[in-house]
A and B are shown apart, each in its own frame.
Chain A
Amino acid sequence: MNLLEVQDLKKHYPIRAGLMRREVGRVRAVDGVSFHIAQGETLALVGESGCGKTTVSRCILRALTVTSGAIRFATSETETVDLATLPKRQVRPLRRHIQMIFQDPYASLNPRMMVGDIIAEPLKVNGVPAAERRDRVAELLELVQMPQSARIRFPHAFSGGQRQRVGIARALALNPRLVVADEPVSALDVSVQAQIINLLLDLQDRLGLSMLFVAHDLSVVRHVSDRVAVMYVGRIVEVAPTDTLYRAPLHPYTEALLAAVPAPDPSRRGRRRVAQGEVADPANPPPGCAFHPRCPYAVDRCRIERPELTPTGSGRYVSCHRAAELDLVGVR
């Protein structure tokens, strides 16, 4: 049984205009997204800004009301709930199972609370007795490689990397079944980023953490994720095991994304092709395949008929009419 199964998830925002605030259109921020996360697995959701990756994560956390679709989440070995349709009141007790790691370690920690209290907060809310809380905080500080003395200090005494460790400890306090990390290292300096990436790799190994890793940085994603789902204008265009996706992409957008990343190697300079044009507007997506205006391989069919995400074997999915005939270039 999968830990999480998202099926045909949609999140539309109405565009209203006129005196009667009539709906004149819709921003299709997320428009039919399906994927799953297995127990102990890290799935990365990647794409450029506005592609809907953060909206998907917020739907899973039920920070947003879902327009349609299902989010089936296994609350235990035997029980599954649909987070998309569950009444708000019943979502609340489930929140302990899904925790979040935020992007900005400066904004996500209360500056007036001591680090020990920040980490203990979710335990307190869930009625864990004080003595147990103390032991658990000590355990968590050790887990994220912070000194025990941090407990009685305030966040401002710590660097960005250490604050992010505190944020991770807080997210893990209740032993969540799923961790949603939205750009957890993108605000950090290179040397600190490396420390946090290694910490996440450690935690995956030690705790068998299941994670939805939302990110735009394809290099970071290659280090930490087991599988990758690539999003473009509200839809998933390709899903594959990480190494396969990077070596042999099946969707032209994946190819373009990989080609755009500058590799830290001057001998590879000038070898890449640059995708033309800009990301389509989700309020007014092009007909057919949303990527067709930028796609060097587009044919007439791509301009008319929208491709569906289709399995191609070995755990791969792609939504491209020409996937079977194209021979796309990955990295290395």
Chain B
Amino acid sequence: MADRTSLAVRDLAVEFRSEQGVVRALDGVSFDLHAGRTLGVVGESGCGKSVTARSILRIVDRPGRITAGRMILDPGTPREVDLAQLDPESKEMRGVRGGRVGLIFQEPMTALSVHYTVGNQIMEAVLQHADISKAEAQNRAIELLREVGIPRPETRISAYPFELSGGLRQRVGIAMALAGDPEIVIADEPTTALDVTTQAQILSLLRRLQEEKNIALMLITHDMGVIAEMADEVAVMYLGRVVEFAPVEEVFSEPRHPYTRALLRAVPSILATPRQRLSTIGGAVPHPGARPSGCPFHPRCSEQLGALCTEQSPRPVPPGRSGAACFKVDQSEAVTA
């Protein structure tokens, strides 16, 4: 790929240890983010997509802890740094968080304080990552609000978050994420709480900003429609692993992993015929604390190969390549090779 790699995540593992036992939230996750491209991360609840985002920003909740792996920011450049090795409280990590890496939340109110005006909050974010005067920071805040399509930004900077609609609040959330002039933006379900026409506006805003600023976007969602609309590459996650990685067209036209196939068939479609039934995946996602042996998907898999799948763990997809972590796929590829 010609695009510059902004972040290389390798073999990332995160565990939550408690009296009830150890929960492996991430189990060897690898992927790359590229400047100007969007990686869509998709999966059901508990698959680890949000923990991945929080790990990159080093804001995993206690008692969660990174037990293995690397997260190399700007690999091969003088600015290269392994985020997994940094102290979450360190000055360097604080420069990354909200600076080199911006974060957009599902509910923008999580990112915004109710006590301060949106202008104050954006200014604070700007001042944290740039050595400029307050007046300059205010101008920058107005500029950012204009960039994210907020009408009359000069007056809106004195508004409190509760005075804004959900759509406008998410635009402010995006302005906050952009305040540190990031090269990577992680958006965790950025449109899930929004109405459908607002969602369409926010997605097209994200697309425009990404193109203008050549941002590497990591878009986390459970919505296959949003993935189809936005992603260049897709990582499908299940129980803390990337089970399939491929360009977006391939994921939809020729999904490799049985889970991806089942998931796509289960999605209700705006193009459905009347009373059309959906294919279902039997059972539910197991609790990450009760991870099945072998391939974590085998108890729900309609294509499993017996002992191989129940006892051994399939090889993860090598980063930078398309593929699926599945013995069945391995076998069919061995035949065609």
Question: B224 interface residue, CB < 8 Å from A?
Answer: yes
Given A190-B222, A191-B262 in contact, is the A260-B278 Cβ separation under 8 Å? no
Given A190-B267, A219-B269 in contact, is the A262-B223 Cβ separation under 8 Å? yes
- Name the B residues within 8 Å of A194 (CB-CB): 266-268, 278-281
Binds A, one of B54-62, B80-88, B192-200: B192-200
Q: Contact: B252 with A222, CB < 8 Å?
A: no
Taking residues whose C-beta sits less than 8 angstroms from the other chain, chain B's interface range is 35 or more
- Name the A residues within 8 Å of B45 (CB-CB): 189
- Number of chain A residues close to chain B: CB under 8 A: 51
- Chain A residue with Cβ nearest B262: A191
Binds A, one of B12-20, B225-233, B323-331: B225-233
- Name the A residues within 8 Å of B272 (CB-CB): 219, 222-223
B271 contact from A162, A257, A259, A332, Cβ within 8 A: A332
Q: Contact: B200 with A191, CB < 8 Å?
A: no
Given A48-B197, A216-B196, A274-B197 in contact, is the A263-B267 Cβ separation under 8 Å? no
Given A262-B228, A269-B229 in contact, is the A190-B266 Cβ separation under 8 Å? yes
- Name the A residues within 8 Å of B147 (CB-CB): none
Q: Contact: A191 with B44, CB < 8 Å?
A: yes
Contact count A vs B, C-beta below 8 Å: 146
Given A223-B272, A260-B197, A261-B196 in contact, is the A189-B228 Cβ separation under 8 Å? no
Q: Contact: B252 with A266, CB < 8 Å?
A: yes
Question: A113 interface residue, CB < 8 Å from B?
Answer: no
Question: A167 interface residue, CB < 8 Å from B?
Answer: no
- What 10 A-B pairs are tightest by C-beta distance, nearest first? A262-B225, A48-B195, A194-B266, A194-B278, A260-B200, A262-B229, A189-B44, A219-B268, A191-B281, A159-B284
Known contacts A219-B267, A262-B223, A269-B229; 6 further A-B pairs (Cβ under 8 A): A160-B284, A189-B45, A260-B200, A263-B225, A264-B228, A331-B270
Q: List 29 A-B contacts (CB under 8 A).
A: A162-B284, A189-B285, A190-B222, A191-B266, A192-B284, A193-B268, A195-B280, A216-B195, A219-B269, A220-B268, A222-B268, A222-B269, A222-B270, A223-B269, A223-B277, A259-B200, A260-B197, A260-B199, A260-B200, A261-B270, A262-B223, A262-B226, A262-B229, A263-B228, A266-B248, A268-B228, A269-B228, A272-B200, A276-B201
Q: A: which residues have CB within 8 A of B?
A: 48-49, 159-162, 189-195, 197-198, 201, 204, 216-220, 222-224, 226, 242-243, 246, 256-269, 272, 274-276, 278-279, 331-332
